[in-house]
Amino acid sequence: MSTLPQATTDEFEQLTASFCKKSLLHFIDEHHPDGNFTLLPSLIDEACAIGIIAKANKSAPGYDYGVWGKQTIDSKDAILSSLIMLATLAKTCASFAFLVHIQGITAHILIRNTIENDYHYPLLILYNGFFPPYYSSLYNPSQIPINYTIENDFFIHTSTGYGYNPQYAIVCIPQSSEWQYIYFNSTETILFQPIKTHGIRGLTYCARFNSKITHSISSNIKTIELLLAYFWLGLAAIATGIAQSAYQKALEYAGERYQRGTLIKNIESVQMLLGNAKANIEVSKRALFTFELGDSSSLLKHAAQIKLTATTLCSQAITDCLQVFGGYGYMEDFGIEKKFRDCNTLLTIGGSPFFMKQYIAQMEMEE
């Protein structure tokens, strides 16, 4: 298993932080609390050019070390770097971090299957139906009721996917006893409509396919396990980044706002909120950055635990941070409400706590 020197990991963090400070910061302003999407194409171009975003193109700067780039196939440090980059991006804007995550996961699938693609904008449908699939059906997909048809074309009536103005699409589907990725290198025949969501707005689509398949890739269970694990770890990293920035904001606010004739940082109830938030964030950070890279199924188990714990703790931490702001926290101006929505969205998507608990229990039983 290859490793990256610590200095390289730090470099990725600094690179991402400097991109956030220089460019990403302008994505959110008072008129666009969820992001000014007209700036998104130039931001994506920039992030691709400096190698933050992974692309399935060998000449792209992010091919190897971008988020979920080629090196993450077998390097724990490359995975760590991806998580650090996602968390750093999320400190400034969780929506952008999520988009980078989705781009990374799709690029990763293509890279693994040696398919080249130079597009920026994917649509990722991890599973056409209820997500995550029932634990036993993960290993035996034939149990899953099929709601698509593949004859000459691939047809699904509706399905939920993530991305932004997609140019290509990947759908993960169960087919008889195995999983398959269906790849479309064009979205011309896919009808997709944006869905308004709680947080991470502007990146969820309802898609209807009646399209020609470019590639149909059979996937072994190990790859599916890794895909799920990376997806969950990424969500946990973004949640941790959001919580860290919310905490920082709350701490600054507590040092500026006067109530009861004193700065609110001196008020016991505010200290308790901040203390609780800090503890939750530290625990989720430690959980996130100390995962063990064993085989794919043990990574999946760790990732499930980390997703459950980190998103739950971070969601609680952000609730506490919002409370420090009082009424101001509920208004769009301070940006905390967006962090609250974004983190709760990450808590729910890709396996809400309710489903994750069952998953973890079933994995344990299996052992």
Judged by the rule CB under 8 A, the positions of this chain that interact with another protein are 33, 130-131, 134, 137, 143-145, 160, 195-199, 204, 258-262, 269-270, 273, 315, 319, 322-323, 326-333, 337, 340-341, 344-345, 347-355, 358
CA distance 83 to 289: 8
Least separation in angstroms between CB 179 and another protein: 16
Least separation in angstroms between CB 334 and another protein: 11
Least separation in angstroms between CB 157 and another protein: 14
Q: In the complex with another protein, which residue's Cβ is closer, 283 or 353? A: 353
Least separation in angstroms between CB 166 and another protein: 18
Least separation in angstroms between CB 254 and another protein: 13
Q: In the complex with another protein, which residue's Cβ is closer, 69 or 350? A: 350
**Strand duo 122-125 + 168-175: pairing:** parallel
Q: In the complex with another protein, which residue's Cβ is closer, 225 or 337? A: 337
Q: In the complex with another protein, which residue's Cβ is closer, 5 or 261? A: 261
Least separation in angstroms between CB 290 and another protein: 26
Enumerate the β-bridge partners of residue 263. 258
Q: In the complex with another protein, which residue's Cβ is closer, 37 or 134? A: 134
Least separation in angstroms between CB 98 and another protein: 12
317 touches 277 (CB < 8 A): yes
Q: In the complex with another protein, which residue's Cβ is closer, 90 or 111? A: 90
H or E stretch covering 216: strand 215-219
Backbone angles phi, psi at 162, to 5 degrees: -115, 145
Please enumerate in sequence order all residues whose Cβ is within 8 A of that of 205, keeping only pairs 6 or more positions apart, or say none: 123, 160, 161, 162, 163, 166, 192, 193, 194, 195
Both tokens of 220, joined, read 């072994």
Q: In the complex with another protein, which residue's Cβ is closer, 48 or 318? A: 318
Q: Which single residue is written with the structure tokens 């933050």?
A: 52
Contacts by residues 102-106 (CB-CB < 8 Å, ≥ 24 positions apart): 102/162, 102/163, 102/203, 103/44, 103/53, 103/54, 103/55, 103/67, 104/53, 104/54, 104/66, 104/67, 104/68, 104/69, 104/230, 104/234, 105/68, 105/227, 105/230, 105/231, 105/234, 106/56, 106/168, 106/170
- Give me the torsion for CA of 169, 172, 174, 179, rounded to 10°: 120
CA distance 257 to 255: 6
CA distance 244 to 92: 10
Q: In the complex with another protein, which residue's Cβ is closer, 84 or 308? A: 308
Least separation in angstroms between CB 353 and another protein: 5
